[in-house]
């Protein structure tokens, strides 16, 4: 966020791009905007996973040393594989793995791995963790386990949550950029 506060133009551009992506995503979910043989929603989910890995895992990876760095590297690989095999390639109708994995399973793998790695790093390294972070990591792990074990997850709910999150982040970044341009 420091980058966006220092560079309001970047924040405005990122906000506009995210708002446009959320709109396109919503149009595809409602079948207003479709391209034959290509799923924009699935492709954007894969890109969103890569962006999350970039902003959540990569800074921790750069900061850590030793065993924590190895575990974070494994988590980065998991994020990349889930993004590629679970969302990006299937969006282009290329199914490397059989269709045994649903989107909920891929999301569950991400939540499980991130929750477990974050719990390990907060517990076995010199990092001081707050009770709120610990609770969030436990909830991530629990939701991931639930999603992996449950067969009755409605993926339309996930799609609308993703649209809402992308749109909210876009509106936040746009507002942040506009507020910071007025200060100068």
Estimate to the nearest angstrom the gap between the alpha carbon of 149 and the chain centroid.
Answer: 21
Closest by alpha carbon to 57, among 45, 42, 70?
70
Domain regions of the chain by residue span? 39-169
Q: Could you say which residues of the chain have pLDDT below 70?
A: 1-3, 31-34, 98-99, 151-155, 182-184
pLDDT digits (tens, 9 = 90+) for 98-141: 667 777 788 889 989 999 999 988 888 877 778 998 899 999 89
Dihedral angle, C-alpha 24, 30, 34, 40, nearest 10 °: 50
Q: What pLDDT was estimated at residue 127?
A: 74
| Angstrom distances, CA of residue 174 to CA of 7, 28, 50, 164 | 12, 23, 21, 15
How far apart, in whole angstroms, are the C-alpha atoms of residue 15 and residue 21?
A: 10
pTM for this model (two decimals): 0.75
Q: What is the pLDDT of residue 103?
A: 76
Angle between the 40-52 and 67-81 helix axes, to the nearest 10 degrees?
A: 170
């Amino acid at each position: 966020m420091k980058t966006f506060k220092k560079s309001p133009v970047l924040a405005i551009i990122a906000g506009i791009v995210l708002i446009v992506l959320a709109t396109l995503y919503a149009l595809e979910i409602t079948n207003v905007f479709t391209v034959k043989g290509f799923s924009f929603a699935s492709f954007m989910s894969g890109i969103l996973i890569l962006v999350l890995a970039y902003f959540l895992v990569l800074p921790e990876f750069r900061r850590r040393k030793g065993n924590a760095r190895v575990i974070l590297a494994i988590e980065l690989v998991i994020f990349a594989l889930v993004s590629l095999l679970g969302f990006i390639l299937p969006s282009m109708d290329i199914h490397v793995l059989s269709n045994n994995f649903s989107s909920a399973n891929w999301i569950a793998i991400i939540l499980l791995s991130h929750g477990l790695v974050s719990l390990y790093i907060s517990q076995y390294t010199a990092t001081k963790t707050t009770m709120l972070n610990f609770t969030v990591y436990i909830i991530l792990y629990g939701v991931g386990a639930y999603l992996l074990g449950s067969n009755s997850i409605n993926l339309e709910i996930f799609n609308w949550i993703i649209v809402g999150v992308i749109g909210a982040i876009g509106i936040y970044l746009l507002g942040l950029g506009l507020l910071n341009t007025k200060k100068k």
